[in-house]
Structure 1
Amino acid sequence: MLPRPLLLTPAVLFIACGGAKSTGGETAATLRGAIGGARPAAAGAATTAVQTTPAAAGWISLFDGQTITGWHNYKTPGAPVVGWSAINGELVRTGAGGDLTTDRQYANFELELEWKVEPGGNSGIIYRIDPSSDVSYTSGPEMQILDDTKHPDGKNPLTSAGANYALHPATPGIVKPVGEWNAVRLLVNGNHVEHWLNGTKMVEYELGSPDWETRRQASKFATWAGYGRAPRGYIALQDHGDRVYFRNIRIRELP
């Protein structure tokens, strides 16, 4: 379970202006910022380069490359982080410790980051986690992180990299080989959610919609009454027992 550089000064970020949405498998142009992250625009849409600073655009870095300030192991806020380390500018799952969870809770947001895994690796990005949940994944939906080639979950589109874990299948052939960085954009705005991987929209869904409920009832989440219900909550990087790496983690809150 459950992005690359342009020649810019450090204060300059190029943002792609998007167009219409699709239901999945949509390839988009990606322009890179000084902080990093994928800023995909819809296929066929014109793109305009706009110079601005990350702060002016509302982006906030969640990882400074040197410390794990702003994060805690799930259910242990305020305690020293265990099992995760900042190494060479990367946030790495190095041992058992539990999901790494933001100190703050978020409702509507865009999250951008890069990840890579070791052979057979498994992790995920879990969002809107109800803090009352004993474990993160019983309330928070998950964008799957996976080595599709060697992990058994990679044989099923519902549990492959980029999927809405166990509910909405990922577009095949988008995840990069083990050892290479994958660029994520996760958009959560009201009930509307989009998973983007390497400039391609993998899935798009509406939390609580009839389609969502039908899929949920047909999954292992059927008995988890709070799954996908929280209007806001923590964001977590999943500890699934494997070594996984993250960098260029940033977030922009939406109204």
Structure 2
Amino acid sequence: MKKLILSACILLAITQISKAQKGFKSLFDGKTTTGWHTYNKSTVGSAWQVQDGALHLDPKTKGKDGGGDLVTDKEYKNFHLKYEWKIAPKGNSGLIFYVHEEPKYHATYSTGLEMQVLDNDGHPDGKITKHRAGDLYDLVQSSSEPVKPVGEWNKAEIISNEGNLTLILNGVEVVKTTLWDENWKNLVAGSKFATWENWGTFTSGKIALQDHGDEVWYKNISIKEL
């Protein structure tokens, strides 16, 4: 009887996990960079390597044109994105979304919003409000800081649906705001992006992993279109 109950519990747990993942599609297969390319290019920079099921940016291997931000081949409008990241000591990176890819814009952050990836204690940006791990970069400060110690994996989620944006870090909702309304325009006007052409105005775009020149890892990247 105990074995039957245990088996039933395991089956229930598997079913619940399956339901929770229903509709999510992997953006990274853990083996190749299929589905990604360097921003405004057709290939992937050699500094981005697949190691142990993760996308690893190793600045030491850059060479000429070996880095750059990675972007998805596809654009997304309303979505629920899940991913894991870890950063090296003194490191800086970010997950950038609603990226408009066009030669006139020189970088992913020229148009896209960023959920910050950072060593809060070791990188200078950690001393700047709205620049710490989990923040909506330069716009909204996290309500709390459930970030793991440097070198440990963090689980992050970005949910954007009809302008309603939620950022989640390690299971904790850290940012909630609305995009593209008057309040959003005021937030942008009070940020470093105030005079940037079309910044934060695109309602559909690509997802990017930032090359900020520091070592960083990303894995288990999946998305559900809403």
TM-score (norm 1): 0.77
Match of 1:219 in 2: 191
Aligned partner of 2:30 among 54, 61, 65 = 65
The Cα of 1:189 is off from its aligned counterpart by 1.1
- Counterparts of 2:113 and 2:29, CA distance in 1: 26
- Counterparts of 1:94 and 1:13, CA distance in 2: 38
Amino acid at match of 2:100: D
* Cα deviation 1:205-253 (Å, max 9, x = unaligned): 1112222211211111011131111111110000000110111111101
Distance change >3 Å, CA 178–CA 13, structure 1 → 2: farther
- Counterparts of 2:39 and 2:207, CA distance in 1: 10
Number of residue-to-residue matches in the alignment: 209
**Identity level (%):** 42
Amino acid at match of 1:115: W
Contact persistence 2:134–2:145 (CA under 8 A): no
- Counterparts of 1:193 and 1:131, CA distance in 2: 21
The Cα of 1:13 is off from its aligned counterpart by 6.0
4+ runs of 1 displaced by more than 4 Å? Answer: none
Match of 2:69 in 1: 99
SS of structure 2 residue aligned to 1:213: helix
Alignment of 1:163-178 (within 5 A): 163-178=135-150
Amino acid at match of 1:89: G
Alignment of 1:109-128 (within 5 A): 109-128=79-98
The Cα of 1:62 is off from its aligned counterpart by 1.1
The Cα of 1:63 is off from its aligned counterpart by 1.2
- Counterparts of 2:19 and 2:58, CA distance in 1: 36
Match of 2:124 in 1: 152
Amino acid at match of 1:165: Y
Amino acid at match of 2:56: V
Asked if 1:88 is matched to 2:60, the reply is: no
* Cα deviation 1:26-70 (Å, max 9, x = unaligned): xxxxxxx5xxxxxxxxxxxxxxxxx5384xx11101111111111
- Counterparts of 1:91 and 1:8, CA distance in 2: 32
The Cα of 1:114 is off from its aligned counterpart by 0.7
Moved more, 65-74 or 203-212: 203-212
Contact persistence 2:33–2:44 (CA under 8 A): no
- Counterparts of 1:237 and 1:73, CA distance in 2: 10
- Counterparts of 1:173 and 1:203, CA distance in 2: 11
The Cα of 1:188 is off from its aligned counterpart by 1.2
Amino acid at match of 2:77: A
Amino acid at match of 2:71: T
Distance change >3 Å, CA 110–CA 223, structure 1 → 2: same
Higher-Rg structure is 2
Structure 1: give runs of 5+ residues left out of the alignment. Answer: 1-6, 15-32, 34-50
Higher helix share: 2
The Cα of 1:192 is off from its aligned counterpart by 1.3
Report the aligned-residue RMSD: 1.9
- Counterparts of 1:13 and 1:161, CA distance in 2: 33
- Counterparts of 2:15 and 2:56, CA distance in 1: 26
